[in-house]
Amino acid sequence: MNKKIEVQELGVKDYKETWDFQEELFQAILQTKIKNRREELDLPTQNHLLFVEHPHVYTLGKSGDFKNLLLNEAELEKKGATFYKINRGGDITYHGPGQVVGYPILDLENFFTDIHKYLRLLEEMVILTLGEYGLKAERSKGETGVWLDVGTPFARKICAMGVRASRWVTMHGFALNVNADLGYFDNIVPCGIQDKAVTSLNVELGKKEIPVAEVKEKLLKHFITLFEIELS
């Protein structure tokens, strides 16, 4: 089992280009696993974590409803945003500047074979990170992601998650609002949930901007600990 991970910082990158890159890494792991089974080999499979920031984009998961996008094509163009129907779970979400997006592309057979546990660990990574900023973040029963003030009229989502897995290989991941322009969420019904707001770390802390590199560093630290993983 390979418990090492290669972390790549992609900077600001187009959503479709990043999706294609994820797919390449994902398929390479799958092909190694298929070769191992066919030829009774034990070649190690690689693990990756991509950090990226996207230009304004809306993505709709496999089970999502197009009605949750409240813009037509012309309005999308006016806002400088793009739209993609993609192959992760979940409904609609937004990615854009000021958001830390992370795509773990892991062979879970290197760690554990439990998608539920995988999602809970990703949530825990974000909860622990936000705790370092003095925020009490939580899970919301039946809803993937990380929230504040769960169970109150002020419940609001700060981190969205959606993943795809095949043969225990993962792709897609999480999007944590750090310095996000929350106005872009007004153009969708985020994750198909109509009665809850969305927030960002800088808003919660009453600051103009939070250093994104610092947030990534904290996320990575907790990721390494929770998954008992080593940097490659």
Active site residues: 191
Q: Are 89 and 163 in contact (CB under 8 A)?
A: yes
Q: Are 46 and 6 in contact (CB under 8 A)?
A: yes
> In the chain, at which residue ranges do the beta strands (DSSP E only) sit?
4-12, 48-53, 57-60, 82-85, 92-95, 99-105, 137-140, 143-148, 156-166, 169-177, 197-198, 230-231
Task: Quote the CA–CA distance of 212 and 224 in Å, as a whole number.
Answer: 18
Q: Whose CA is closest to 18, among 114, 82, 110, 98? A: 82
The one-letter amino acid code at 86 reads I
In sequence order, which residues have a C-beta less than 8 Å from that of residue 178 and are 6 or more positions away? 98, 99, 100, 200, 201, 202, 210, 212, 215
Task: Quote the CA–CA distance of 186 and 71 in Å, as a whole number.
Answer: 10
Task: Quote the CA–CA distance of 232 and 6 in Å, as a whole number.
Answer: 5
- Is the CA virtual torsion 90, 96, 102, 106 positive or negative? positive
Q: Are 29 and 43 in contact (CB under 8 A)?
A: no
